[in-house]
Structure 1
Amino acid sequence: MAWMKLDLQYFAADEKTEKATPKKRQDTRKKGQVPKSQDVNTGVLLLFMFGGLFLLGGYMRDAVLNMYRHAFTYYVHQDLTQEQTHTIFVEMTMETAKVTAPLMGIAVVAGIASNLLQVGVMFTGEPLKADLKKIDPIKGAKRIFSARALVELLKSLLKISVVGVITFSIIWINKDQMMMMSQKSVEDAVSFFGTITVIMGIASALALLLLSVLDYTYQRYDHEKNIRMSKKDIKDEYKNIEGDPQIKAKIKEKQRQMSASRMMSEVPQADVVITNPTHYAVAVKYDDQESDAPIVVAKGVDFLALKIKDIARAHDIVTVENRPLARSLYAKCEIDKPIDEEFFKAVAEILAYVYRLQEKI
């Protein structure tokens, strides 16, 4: 029973139940693992592109008509030579670029804006690194038949259905006008169908953006689920950041030992040791060449206090019992620092007593 209980505790510690820490989020972001919906990119791109067509459609139509008009009224009468062919190719390429450049610029802006909207500014090369796990057929099959793949399939079917319903509805509403286009001029028919196409595009883009909100919410939920941490992971992370508590405790203990050793080496230089008498001991030194006030060179309680008094006896340093002063000096004064002004009078009286005693000796 005992080993079963230990196993349960072990598995509970490894269960991913805790929210990711800020460091874990930062590390996953550096690896390029962020919540992101491709539907947001698609919706924003379609909205920008069809919006651009709506605003720039007249300019693009006139530019294309002028290009064809120039080609069939000017180029068609020229001799077909190598130089002339090169000239025609360069001029037509420039004109085509003038027509498509605005839309290409809009597409670039839309792509950057949609990514900034979701993940902000992020530069990382981690996703580009070679990883043999990505071509593992077993893991690939697991991805294909996973719950995530099923969700993606349902999303695709939903998007196709929504876009299909929207486009069919717009065509159905305008079916009578479409039938009448056979009686109109070519220019009117092209203009009408262009307008209908833009309307269908913008409506579909708005619908995809609405669906992308749901998809982005799901992507955030899935991302948070994937970066969850176990209690053991959090403890290990804390150890990596702060250091192993046992090692830190040993370092602090070593520092205390070194500090105590250095402090004990200063006791023989003291003028007096003020005691409790059993629990506290404070060694005080006064040298008017070094400081205007007496300096605490060592202090301690219990074992350290006994050690200070032993060293003081070994070096014939006077020990004076003053319980309230010893406690106050220990609590308020730092080692190698002058005593506070409130203790000047009491310590001066003790030092005067010690100097008189030393003169008698």
Structure 2
Amino acid sequence: MAEEQDKSDKTEDPTQRRLDEALKRGDVVKSQEVSTWFVIGGGTLALTMFAGSSGASLTNTMKGLIAKSWAIPSDGRMLVRLTETITIEVLAAIGLPFLVLVVAALAGTAIQHRLVWTTETLSPKLSKISPIAGFKRLFSAQALANFVKGLLKLALVGTVLVMLLWPERNLLESLVSTDPTSILPVSMTLMLKLLGSVVAIMAVIAAADYLFQYQQWYQRQKMSLKEIKDEFKETEGDPKIKAKIRQLRVSRMRKRMMAAVPGATVVITNPTHYAVALKYERGMNAPVCLAKGTDRIALKIREVATENAVPIVENPPLARTLYATVEIDREIPPEHYKAVAEVVGYVMRLKKAWR
């Protein structure tokens, strides 16, 4: 019941990370019918292309052995050399067809998914040797589907082969009394005809099976909402932790700003909502923003400035403009030089008069 509940919860499409992890584990889309089709197709191609030349080469080799059987050496060294020669000729005759079969088998796997090198599928698991797990696999829906698929494939291929061979039944009966040398061309023609039909049928079966296997694989990769949230936390970080870190950064920045306010030259305010603390000394290119804030932060800046005898000048338009355009520890923009220069000049004149 718990397992069914887990499956019913997995209603969300898998993320790219989930698909990549499945590939690393070796859990990929794999249809045995596609691989079988490539092997049968490769065998048919190899038989069509190389049957004549390979058959002629092997025939000549066997003819020579039979014709000169009396001359076959019986001593060990010459017999080994003769065996090596025959082996090389046989391998040369079947080498290219065998290579075509190997390439077809690799293509049948590579066309379905990227090549995967993993040892996870070879690692020992208790579920692989558990009788209960084996019994469940034996009578699972997947096993039943494979059994039905095998029966349908056997029935379909068998029906097509019977339909192809039945019209040739008289020809097949006549081969019993035919010269053996003429049997091979007829057999080759029939074989290629049968293999071509099997390849065509298997192409349809392989395409249908691949779609079925892909659907089954995709369903296995689906995720629950909890899994998606957990993955997001792992990749992007826990939102609560990120919010806490952001809060700590803001708190540190505020403390640093308040510590810099006593060194400001002037604090420009919009009486209750905005406050910008600027510092200017001779030799500086332009005034620098030490602190800025709104509402409660602005009020705190005003309090610190009052406690440290930093002049406070109310200029609402300039305060709002500076708050929106200048960053902390940066010089004010050139377009505000004139307005700020008037305020700084006013403050310096007040300080001079006070002294």
TM over 0.5: yes
Equivalent position SS for 1:275: strand
Equivalent position SS for 2:267: strand
Q: Among 78, 83, 86, which residue is 2:77 paired with?
A: 83
Residue 360 of structure 1 pairs with residue 350 of structure 2? no
Query: Against the structure 1 CA distance between its residues 13 and 109, is the aligned structure 2 distance closer, same or farther, given a 3 Å change threshold?
Result: closer
Greater shift, 258-267 or 42-51, is seen at: 258-267
Match of 1:4 in 2: none
Query: Against the structure 1 CA distance between its residues 287 and 233, is the aligned structure 2 distance closer, same or farther, given a 3 Å change threshold?
Result: same
Match of 1:297 in 2: 290
Per the TM alignment, residue 75 of structure 1 is displaced from its structure 2 partner at its CA by 5.0
Per the TM alignment, residue 261 of structure 1 is displaced from its structure 2 partner at its CA by 1.2
Tell me the distance in 1 between the aligned counterparts of 2:68 and 2:33: 46
Q: Among 258, 273, 281, which residue is 2:275 paired with?
A: 281
Tell me the distance in 1 between the aligned counterparts of 2:83 and 2:54: 19
Per the TM alignment, residue 81 of structure 1 is displaced from its structure 2 partner at its CA by 1.0
Equivalent position SS for 1:89: helix
Match of 2:302 in 1: 309
Tell me the distance in 1 between the aligned counterparts of 2:346 and 2:179: 122
Tell me the distance in 1 between the aligned counterparts of 2:6 and 2:329: 51
Equivalent position SS for 2:275: strand
Greater shift, 257-266 or 146-155, is seen at: 257-266
Contact 2:290 2:328 in 1 (8 A): yes
Per the TM alignment, residue 94 of structure 1 is displaced from its structure 2 partner at its CA by 0.8
CA deviation map 1:202-227 (0-9, x unaligned) = 21122112111111111111111111
Contact 1:281 1:299 in 2 (8 A): yes
Contact 1:14 1:232 in 2 (8 A): no
Q: Among 125, 135, 142, which residue is 1:141 paired with?
A: 135
Tell me the distance in 1 between the aligned counterparts of 2:75 and 2:163: 52
Per the TM alignment, residue 15 of structure 1 is displaced from its structure 2 partner at its CA by 1.0
**What is the root-mean-square deviation of aligned Cα atoms in Å?**
1.8
Residue 156 of structure 1 pairs with residue 123 of structure 2? no
Greater shift, 245-254 or 69-78, is seen at: 69-78
Contact 1:31 1:126 in 2 (8 A): yes
Per the TM alignment, residue 90 of structure 1 is displaced from its structure 2 partner at its CA by 0.8
- What is the letter of the counterpart of residue 165 of structure 2? I
Tell me the distance in 2 between the aligned counterparts of 1:172 and 1:35: 39
Residue 228 of structure 1 pairs with residue 232 of structure 2? no
CA deviation map 1:159-178 (0-9, x unaligned) = 11122122222221222222
Matches within 5 A, 1:78-227: 78-227=72-221
Residue 324 of structure 1 pairs with residue 338 of structure 2? no
CA deviation map 1:110-148 (0-9, x unaligned) = 112122211134333322222222222111111111111
Tell me the distance in 2 between the aligned counterparts of 1:286 and 1:80: 111
Identity of aligned residues (%): 35
Per the TM alignment, residue 13 of structure 1 is displaced from its structure 2 partner at its CA by 11
CA deviation map 1:255-296 (0-9, x unaligned) = 11111111222212211101111121100112354x422111
Tell me the distance in 1 between the aligned counterparts of 2:338 and 2:6: 63
Query: Against the structure 1 CA distance between its residues 235 and 192, is the aligned structure 2 distance closer, same or farther, given a 3 Å change threshold?
Result: same
Per the TM alignment, residue 12 of structure 1 is displaced from its structure 2 partner at its CA by 9.4
Q: TM-score, normalised by structure 2?
A: 0.94
- What is the letter of the counterpart of residue 87 of structure 1? R
Contact 2:46 2:101 in 1 (8 A): no
Query: Against the structure 1 CA distance between its residues 282 and 175, is the aligned structure 2 distance closer, same or farther, given a 3 Å change threshold?
Result: same
Equivalent position SS for 2:112: helix
Query: Against the structure 1 CA distance between its residues 13 and 258, is the aligned structure 2 distance closer, same or farther, given a 3 Å change threshold?
Result: farther
Per the TM alignment, residue 194 of structure 1 is displaced from its structure 2 partner at its CA by 2.1
CA deviation map 1:175-202 (0-9, x unaligned) = 2222233454322201211221222122
Q: TM-score, normalised by structure 1?
A: 0.92
Unaligned stretches of 5+ in structure 2? none
Tell me the distance in 2 between the aligned counterparts of 1:334 and 1:160: 77
- What is the letter of the counterpart of residue 137 of structure 1? P
Contact 1:46 1:202 in 2 (8 A): no
- What is the letter of the counterpart of residue 259 of structure 1? M
Contact 1:47 1:206 in 2 (8 A): no
